[in-house]
Amino acid sequence: MIETSNEFDEKKQRNNERSKQYYYENRDVILSKLHTQDKKEKMKEYNKIYYEKHKQQILEKMKKRELTLEQIECKKQYMKQYRDNLKSKMTNEQIEARKQYMREYRKRKREQLQKNENQINSIN
């Protein structure tokens, strides 16, 4: 069934009318989504640029900052919940890979400590 140019134009016109009607009825929702997404992207880009420009000052400020006992406790709680959340999402393969990594890490640390002790003993 081949459409004539006139039928095609009529369909197009009807679709345009429906789109206009939908836009008119849902204008606030459409614009808020558009605006929010646009804002998020712009903010993300701005933050990247700002961090690159001020990276050194930010790091220095973080080093100088002193935390209260309450803030330290809050951070500990947060990290504990974060790690528990990560553990709950891990698959068996990821768990095994993590265990293997930790075994190797501990082995390297032991060897490094032994090497340091030997150097200290050789100096004395």
Q: What is the CA radius of gyration of the chain?
A: 30
Band of residue 19 on the pLDDT scale cut at 50, 70, 90: confident
> Which residue among 65, 87, 108 closes a domain?
65
**Domain limits for position 21:** 7-65
Rounded Cα gap, residues 73 and 22, in angstroms:
52
Residues 61 and 81 in one domain: no
Task: Tell me the pLDDT of the chain averaged across its residues.
Answer: 87
Residues 15 and 41 in one domain: yes
* Residue 1 is assigned to a structural domain of this protein: no
Residues 51 and 23 in one domain: yes
- Give a three-class secondary structure readout of 78-124: HHHHHHHHHHHHCCHHHHHHHHHHHHHHHHHHHHHHHHHHHHHHHHC
Residue 124: the pLDDT is 67
* Residue 124 is assigned to a structural domain of this protein: yes
> Which residue among 65, 82, 100 closes a domain?
65
Residue 109: the pLDDT is 95
* Residue 2 is assigned to a structural domain of this protein: no
pLDDT 10s digits, 66-91? 888 999 999 999 999 999 999 899 89
Q: CA dihedral defined by 51, 55, 61, 64, rounded to 10 degrees?
A: 140
* pLDDT at residue 24 tops 90: no
- As for how many domains the chain has, the answer is 2
Least confident of 58-62, 80-84, 95-99, 120-124: 120-124
pTM: 0.37
